[in-house]
């Protein structure tokens, strides 16, 4: 393909702007590079966001591009907002009009403009993971498979993996069918894509593969956007998957003004399709590419940086670089050696209190990072016992709560009534006399006649259905149509939402239930209305479709509030891009961190090591590693081996701290010698008296503490109704303590501990 060179729009470029003086030599070189492919290898804490920001500001200030000619792609909305604000601070209004956002938000915007060319309406719905899995579950049932045996989640993951590699249903069988599960996935994938089109819907992966389809099938559309986006900048390039690589390669092929910023040492998302080869092979894709390394770290102390470097150097696949810093040496890294996970949580929380006293830190200066979400529970309990506020990142999103999904489904129907998942979710929510048999009859009719469900219920009088149900369906359709008409006539989104909540009976049902849970759900619905009001006030032309798109693309990191006065609990994956004065990396044990083989796949030790490197480099001043010698797994206590990564850290910068924070008198799986040796090494005052399980706190709540409370994972119990069982999990504290018990004759039950009347069985 013939290459084109974009000439500066002014014959006399301005002299270099003063703001470039804020950059170091390598940063300045990257920011002032204007034409041709550029690879910026940005080590952790080296100021990559600053370089991207200054580079865009430089292109605009020097008249190398107009704002609308620049496409900047990020992985979080937070990063995009931060960059936009910085650019405006540098050059003012010249920054308005930039195309800047996440891959999904930018390409969904393009797809809304061009949807008809690939068979969609511009008001298409965006299915989140739950919607996709529900659609797959429905297909499994129709094909006479049991969703309890063949998990919709597993099928969805396999389909998502295929999409990320741009493998469509027609090619799936030739590429993937090696087992019965693959064969089933191939059938479901084909039907699933048809259902999405029938529902005028796309899932998250479609937002990346549909643009590739659009550009390949319509070269004129591709050229339009190539000429539109003459400068393309991509953040976190090491995290791109094949679909993201392909769509940006297509856009950049005409002018090759593509700048990618990334760090191969922070490539940690292969589980969702990220391909480290994209950054490693960038100079093969663009032979004339300039490479600029950013190696000066501004975030961490020398000891923390030395620790990170000693670990990552063990990897074979990497771009050579050595980070350095002018910061102080700082404290040595502290390794906490714990008896078990409860001991670990106690010790971490006490160190948080000590650091607050010594340095005047606030709660939001601390992060506890772990490999998997389930590890949060024990730290939540320890923080609550000490009265320390915390925020859990990666838990249940506000927008994933049942009542919020219900309301959003109602709103979705006002924009896209063909959305089958939204329709099935709320056609009988709250109950309006449209039972499962009626819905199954409608679905069978839709499949047999190859019609959309909305089309059938719009003409419900023609259907052979239970007469009272037909009347209720007619009322439901009339309500939706009337609300759609109001929306189209100019009634505000907020007013239509309030009318919908009233006319559907949804709010009335919550009020009449009058339980604590129902009142909480009502408050959540009211909070959603607040979000709609805010959206209306901050958009010149508020549009319901845009509101639904905006909230559907919220990422986990976007939910993190750095100003909230709370200790942050999150997985290492979720912590990427963040930084904290003090970081605790916990659970550093074999088969936990690094994670062992899963789902028949080989363990990816190099990626696990990169994950450890990411965790280390979140720390600014204080870094703690932590592992436990014992840990409960599946309700049984197991011995743990410390992580191999701990042996890769430079031993000259590590101080080990052992000792037990809890009494060991009742432990079944520890020897007397081991328990006493731990107790003798206690370095802090852990001797505050524990309350018995029947004592009362100052608030009057019953307290259940570990030494006197027998109800923890592994305990065999008797229930007066369900019979014998075994506790497999426990959560909450005080009167909110819950246990999950597997009963031999009744299966798994979740019980409030204070009301369960459990008796301990001697084994």
Known binding site for ATP: residues? Answer: 42-49
Active-site residue identified among 26, 28, 34, 48 = 48
Q: Of 29, 49, 129, 228, which one is the catalytic site residue?
A: 49
Are 297 and 268 within 8 A, CB to CB? no
Sheet holding 759-760, edge to edge: 747-752, 738-743, 723-731, 716-719, 759-760
Distance of CA 430 to the CA centre of its chain: 30
**516: how many CB neighbours lie within 10 A of its CB?**
8
The C-alpha atoms of residue 742 and residue 726 are separated, in whole angstroms, by 5
- Nearest Cα to Cα of residue 261 among 270, 272, 248: 248
* Residue 237: closest CA among 73, 36, 55, 59: 73
Catalytic residue status for 48: yes
Nearest to 419 by CA among 117, 128, 210: 128
Token digits of residue 380: 């939540």
CA distance 400 to 288: 46
Torsion of CA 172, 177, 183, 189, to 10 degrees: -20
Contact assessment for residue 760 and residue 710, using Cβ atoms and an 8 Å cutoff: yes
- 3-class DSSP state of 159: helix
Q: Which one from 206, 236, 341, 419 is the annotated catalytic residue?
A: 236
Return the ∠ at Cα 329 (arms to 325 and 333), rounded to 5°. 110
Which residue is catalytic, options 102, 266, 301, 438? Answer: 266
d(CA 509, CA 518): 9
Q: Among 84, 75, 78, which residue's Cα sits nearest to residue 208?
A: 75
Give the residue numbers of the binding site.
Answer: 42-49
- To the query of whether residue 154 is one of the catalytic residues in this protein, the response is no
Residue 49 falls in the annotated catalytic set? yes
Distance CA 374, CA 395 (A): 10
What span, in angstroms and rounded, lies between the C-alpha atoms of 546 and 535? 10
Given the DSSP bridges, would you call strands 636-639 and 38-42 parallel, antiparallel or unpaired? unpaired
Half-sphere exposure of 690 (CA within 13 A, CB side): 13
Of 114, 205, 206, 235, the catalytic one is 235
Return the SS3 of 220.
Answer: helix
CA dihedral 337, 339, 345, 349 (to 10 degrees): -60
| Active-site annotation holder among 246, 618, 629, 730 | 618
**Residue-wise DSSP of 232-301:** EEESSGGG--HHHHHHHHHHHTTT--EEEEE-GGG---GGGT--THHHHTHHHH-TT-EEEEE-B-SSS-
Active-site annotation, residues: 48-49, 235-236, 266, 618
């Amino acid at each position: 393909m013939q290459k084109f060179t974009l000439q500066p729009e002014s014959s006399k470029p301005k002299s270099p702007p003063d703001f470039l003086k804020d950059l170091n030599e390598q940063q300045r070189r990257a920011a002032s590079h204007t034409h041709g492919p550029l690879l910026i290898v940005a080590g952790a804490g080296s100021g990559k966001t600053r370089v991207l920001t200054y580079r865009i500001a430089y292109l605009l200030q020097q008249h190398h591009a107009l704002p609308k000619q620049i496409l900047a792609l990020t992985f979080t909305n937070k990063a995009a907002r931060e960059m936009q604000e910085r650019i405006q601070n540098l050059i003012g209004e010249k920054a308005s009009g930039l195309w800047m956002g996440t891959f999904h938000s930018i390409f969904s915007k393009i797809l809304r403009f061009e949807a008809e060319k690939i068979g969609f309406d511009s008001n298409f719905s965006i299915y989140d993971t739950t919607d996709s899995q529900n659609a797959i579950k429905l297909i499994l049932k129709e094909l006479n498979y049991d969703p309890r045996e063949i998990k919709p989640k597993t099928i969805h993951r396999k389909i998502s993996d295929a999409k990320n590699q741009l493998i469509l249903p027609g090619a799936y069988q030739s590429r993937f069918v090696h087992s019965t599960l693959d064969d089933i996935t191939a059938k479901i994938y084909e039907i699933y894509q048809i259902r999405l089109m029938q529902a005028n819907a796309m899932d998250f992966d479609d937002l990346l593969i549909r643009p590739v389809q659009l550009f390949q099938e319509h070269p004129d559309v591709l050229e339009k956007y190539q000429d539109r986006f003459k400068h393309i900048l991509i953040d976190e390039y090491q995290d791109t998957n094949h679909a993201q690589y392909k769509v940006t390669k297509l856009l950049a092929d005409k002018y090759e003004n593509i700048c990618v910023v990334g760090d191969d040492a922070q490539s940690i998302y292969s589980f969702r399709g990220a391909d480290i080869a994209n950054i490693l092979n960038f100079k093969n894709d663009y032979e004339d590419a300039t490479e600029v390394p950013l190696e000066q770290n501004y975030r961490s102390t020398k000891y923390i940086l030395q620790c990170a470097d000693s670990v990552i150097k063990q990897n074979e696949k990497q771009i050579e670089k050595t980070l350095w810093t002018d910061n102080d040496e700082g404290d040595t890294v502290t390794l906490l050696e714990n008896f078990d996970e409860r001991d670990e949580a106690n010790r971490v929380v006490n160190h948080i209190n000590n650091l607050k006293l010594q340095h005047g830190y606030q709660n939001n200066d601390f992060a506890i990072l772990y490999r998997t979400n389930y590890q949060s529970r024990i730290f939540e309990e320890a923080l609550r016992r000490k009265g320390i506020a915390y925020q859990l990142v990666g838990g249940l999103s506000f927008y994933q709560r049942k009542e919020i999904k219900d309301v959003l489904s109602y709103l979705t129907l006002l924009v896209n009534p063909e959305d089958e998942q939204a329709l099935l979710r709320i056609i009988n929510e709250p109950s309006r006399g449209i039972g499962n048999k009626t819905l199954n009859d409608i679905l069978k009719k839709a499949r047999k006649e190859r019609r959309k469900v909305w089309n059938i219920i719009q003409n419900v009088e023609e259907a052979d259905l239970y007469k009272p149900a037909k009347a209720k369906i007619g009322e439901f359709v009339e309500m939706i149509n009337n609300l759609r008409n109001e929306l189209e006539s100019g009634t505000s989104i907020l007013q239509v939402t309030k009318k919908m909540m009233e006319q559907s009976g949804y709010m009335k049902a919550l009020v009449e239930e009058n339980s604590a849970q129902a009142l909480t759900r009502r408050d959540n619905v009211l909070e959603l209305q607040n979000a709609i009001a805010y959206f209306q006030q901050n958009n010149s032309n508020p549009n319901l479709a845009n509101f639904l798109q905006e909230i559907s693309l919220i990422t986990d990191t976007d939910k993190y509030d750095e100003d909230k006065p709370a200790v942050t609990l999150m997985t290492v994956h979720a912590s990427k891009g963040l930084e904290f004065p003090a970081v605790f990396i916990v659970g550093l044990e074999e088969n936990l961190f690094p994670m062992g083989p899963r789902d028949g796949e080989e363990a990816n030790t190099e990626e696990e090591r990169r994950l450890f490197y990411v965790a280390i480099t979140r720390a600014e001043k204080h870094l703690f590693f932590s592992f436990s010698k014992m840990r409960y797994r599946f309700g049984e206590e197991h011995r743990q081996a410390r992580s191999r990564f701990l042996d890769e850290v430079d031993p000259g910068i590590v101080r080990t701290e052992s000792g037990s924070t809890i009494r060991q008198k009742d432990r079944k799986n520890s020897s007397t010698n081991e328990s006493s040796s731990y107790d003798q090494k206690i370095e802090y005052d852990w001797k505050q008296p524990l309350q018995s399980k029947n004592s009362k706190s100052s608030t009057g709540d019953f307290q259940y503490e570990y030494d006197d409370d027998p109800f923890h994972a592994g305990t065999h119990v008797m229930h007066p109704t369900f019979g014998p069982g075994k506790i497999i999990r426990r959560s909450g504290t005080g009167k909110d303590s819950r246990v999950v018990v597997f009963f031999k004759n009744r299966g798994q039950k979740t019980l409030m501990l204070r009301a369960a009347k459990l008796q301990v069985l001697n084994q």
